[in-house]
Amino acid sequence: MLGRFILLKICLLSLCCSKITEKAKKSLASLKRENPRLEPTLAIIQAHNDHSIQDLNKNFAKEVGLHVIHICLPEGSSKDEIVNEILRLNEDPNVQGLALDLPESLYSSKVLNAVKPEKDVDGLSSVNLGRLIHGDAYSCLVPPTVCAVMELLEDLGGKTVLLVGTSGAVGAALQCMLQREGAVTVSCQWKAPQLQTKLHHADVVVVGSTKPDDVPVSWIKPGTTIISCSHDLLSEKHNHGQPANHAAENAVGSLAVAMRMQNMVKTTEQWIQSQQYRKWDLRCLRLQPVSPVPSDIEISRAQSPKAVDVLAKEIGLLTDEIEIYGQTKAKVRLSLLERLKDQPDGKYVLVAGITPTPLGEGKSTVTIGLVQALTAHLDINSFACLRQPSQGPTFGVKGGAAGGGYAQVIPMEEFNLHLTGDIHAITAANNLLAAAIDARILHENTQSDKALYNRLVPVVNGVRGFSAIQLARLRRLGINKSDPGTLTEEEVSKFARLDIDPSTITWQRVVDTNDRFLRKITVGQANTEKGFIRQAQFDIAVASEIMAILALTTSLQDMKERLGKMVVANDKKGEPVTAEDLGVTGALAVLMKDAIKPTLMQTLEGTPVFVHAGPFANIAHGNSSVLADKIALKLVGETGFVVTEAGFGADIGMEKFFNIKCRASGLVPSVVVLVATVRALKMHGGGPNVTAGAPLKKEYTEENLQLVADGCCNLQKQIQIAQLFGVPVVVALNVFKTDSVAEVDLVCKIAKQSGAFDAVPCNHWSAGGGGAVKLAQAVEKAARQKNSFKYLYSLELPIVEKIRIIAQKVYGAEDIELSPAAQTQVDRYTRQGFGNLPICMAKTHLSLSHQPDRKGVPTGFILPISDVRASIGAGFIYPLVGTMSTMPGLPTRPCFYDIDLDPITEQVKGLF
């Protein structure tokens, strides 16, 4: 016999297969014990008709405990068809490993590199091969065929190994592994010159493709070890005329398949580790503040943000957990919450403020400055969670909400304009529902019961059936039937007619523009609407209940349920009519399916920010989304911080954050950062009126300790409000250049005497995170304090009593007074079963009372409740204290006069 044909040593090969299989089986069993829900799946793409290989893979996978799916493509499939299938499986979260069984001609770099490296069980991609060559044994996977060859060879030191017909990734991997074992490797093809000489001098021959007929076996010297990496090497007669032993050939294939399963177990282990919490590897951006401080947009443009996929990787997001929008924004998928469900939450910090001037006191700036200080300067993981600003104020009078100076979100123009389209999605969903209401009234008023029913439940392709949402309505009506032909006339009428009372419609159309002429409109004036005219109005988009739902929802299913519960009107019997009754819930959810994902951005110093949802802070709760907070709390880790802000002063935004948002989320805040300014305190101390756009009076630009001291009563009251909820308070004094040292010291002293854990002057606007380091240190210390968080009231209390508690304990009112209309609404909501919802007070933010000109801490007033409304889907009752405008108007000189676009560079000009 010529040589020692290792291929024929069936017993040795079987022993090797058993050993490898048993090892893989034990490893996988251990992984499953630690991860009970683990079901690793290997997908194998096959493009030939040899089913024996398929059976071999299935048998070994079953033995090890793996699930295998075969994708059998037709023989003759093109490379593009193979790649398309690979790309599909790359994105399948239920597939952890991917292998290829293809004809030799299809193993091109295009095909092999289409496989995601983390799913590349066969280890043939350039990434895996590079890791192997560089000695990264932990993260690389050695091709199963190479593993099989190495398993069969021993004592290679100094021996010459000839690789014949082994090319590409397998050949390179073989050379690498053999050389590590001390072998001298020579590689050539079957047609190479001096092949006979090379074969004669080789101690080991590894064959990677079919031997040509014109190369006789006699060229190989006796005693040479021969190993076949080819499926069909032994399909001819050789070995001195003896027929090939095909059982031996299959055994070689079996060893490679066993090695594939071992690789799959290793891939599964790496996948499990990839799903676990990752320590941050954040590269912060260097900030070089200059004086005087340039405009916000100049500062934003002077910084080069990181690519958002780089930022996502730095904070532990997986590639399949982000959806990239351009270079600097990405949506984050909610699947992260399931992946990190066992990860402890970080610390939860709320930024609130004292009763502000019309200019605002810089809560957003403090929020950004604080996270920049925590992460870029103290090396503590932190996340800012901000509301998305409406474009109405951006083009109106207020400006943006990205922070300011050297503490802002970048790119700030993208933050303030469109972002990822969430507000447009809300507008589309809101207006679809508005259209559905008016259309339903029209159709019910112009059709008989039978005609209406026939159109609502039409015959489609000869079959008549209810949709899923119609079946749900039937069940709510107590009609337990599924065959449209079996309903009685009474049931048909009951099902088909909502009988909406037009005078009770509370659902308005919205647009994300300040347009005062839409505050009252008439709809239905066209002849086609047959005289069904009614008065209506437009609200600004962020006032939509759908925005409030987006901010409070905890999952896609929860959002869908909340959308269905939205009450849009009453019927003529006084019963609520919902979006679910109108059959539009599923469509609304479809429009909102992307908006539910928070948007990832970054600060000037490269720290992460979530921008998500932006509900009104008067008729809604004025906080960013629960989902953004929940995801961020998982990402920062147990010792990290998530900093979010509440709209308006602490008496409004903070109270709603605790009583509404925290009830919805179940999250417990660690610290309240209360933002104050010397300017606002002087106003509360009796200073002259502060007007947006007008120069400040000298009282605000010159030192006046008496005004400051007198105005600190508002600061003291807001500290007391926070203490009602049992949360420690750190006062952040936002310092302006006109503030004197004595004024700053006085405020901090009074704040500490009034129960604040600490009070810290901050200069982040002019210095970035470096100007808020002391604030960050104070917050970190405060977060270690004992937390006795509690809600202000029980939901079981009557609506009026809950309103009274807020008015008296938070605002300082003597009592409340409900108008007859408000009392009627309270009685109606109680009768309809909505009495156990939390309260969302809609009142002015410019005073603790209902009168904007009463500064400081007003007392002895009766809080008038003019009306009471409900956002049932969002989950709160909102009493109106006075008149609330839900559609801002444009001033005489709006911001848009200064906004322009450079047609050459495409840069936005004049935006703040």
Q: Active-site positions? A: 363, 365, 387, 398, 617, 648, 736, 765
Helix axes 126-133, 168-180, angle to 10 degrees: 10
User: Beta strand pairing status for 329-332 and 599-603?
Assistant: antiparallel
- The torsion defined by the Cα of 601, 606, 608 and 611, in degrees rounded to 10, comes to -30
DSSP for residue 640? -
837-863 CB burial, b ≥16 within 10 A, e <16: bbbbbbbbbbbbbbeeebbbbbeebeb
CB atoms within 10 A of CB 308: 22
Contact status, residue 491 vs residue 479, Cβ threshold 8 Å? yes
For residues 355 and 681, give the distance between their C-alpha atoms in angstroms, rounded to a whole number. Answer: 9
DSSP string across 560-592: HHHHHH-EEEEBTTS-EEETTTTT-HHHHHHHH
DSSP for residue 677? -
Contact status, residue 631 vs residue 315, Cβ threshold 8 Å? no
For residues 312 and 281, give the distance between their C-alpha atoms in angstroms, rounded to a whole number. Answer: 10
Segments of 242-391 assigned E as strands: 322-325, 329-332, 347-353, 382-386
For residues 187 and 193, give the distance between their C-alpha atoms in angstroms, rounded to a whole number. Answer: 12
- The torsion defined by the Cα of 44, 47, 50 and 52, in degrees rounded to 10, comes to 0
DSSP for residue 244? P
* Residue type (1 letter), 867: D
DSSP string across 154-214: ---TT-EEEEES--HHHHHHHHHHHHHTT-EEEEE-TT-TTHHHHHHH-SEEEE-SPPPTT
**Apex CA 72: angle with CA 71 and CA 77, to 5°?**
115
627-652 CB burial, b ≥16 within 10 A, e <16: bbbbbbbbbbbeebbbbbbbbbbbbb
What tokens appear for 150 in the block? 């190495």
696 sits in the region (left: phi over 0; alpha: psi -120 to 50; else beta) called beta
For residues 151 and 282, give the distance between their C-alpha atoms in angstroms, rounded to a whole number. Answer: 42
The burial class, CB within 10 Å (0-12 / 13-18 / 19+), for 392 is: buried
Contact status, residue 41 vs residue 264, Cβ threshold 8 Å? no
What tokens appear for 614 in the block? 């932006």
Contact status, residue 447 vs residue 455, Cβ threshold 8 Å? yes
The burial class, CB within 10 Å (0-12 / 13-18 / 19+), for 485 is: exposed
Contact status, residue 350 vs residue 657, Cβ threshold 8 Å? yes
Q: How many helices and strands, by DSSP H and E, does the chain display? A: 33, 34
CB atoms within 10 A of CB 222: 9
- DSSP, collapsed to helix, strand or coil, labels residue 810 as helix
Contact status, residue 592 vs residue 424, Cβ threshold 8 Å? no
For residues 256 and 233, give the distance between their C-alpha atoms in angstroms, rounded to a whole number. Answer: 15
CA 143 to each of CA 23, 87, 129, 259, 463: distance values in angstroms, whole numbers, following the listed order: 18, 21, 9, 8, 55
Question: Which residues lie below 8 Å from residue 823, measured CB to CB, with a gap of 6+?
Answer: none
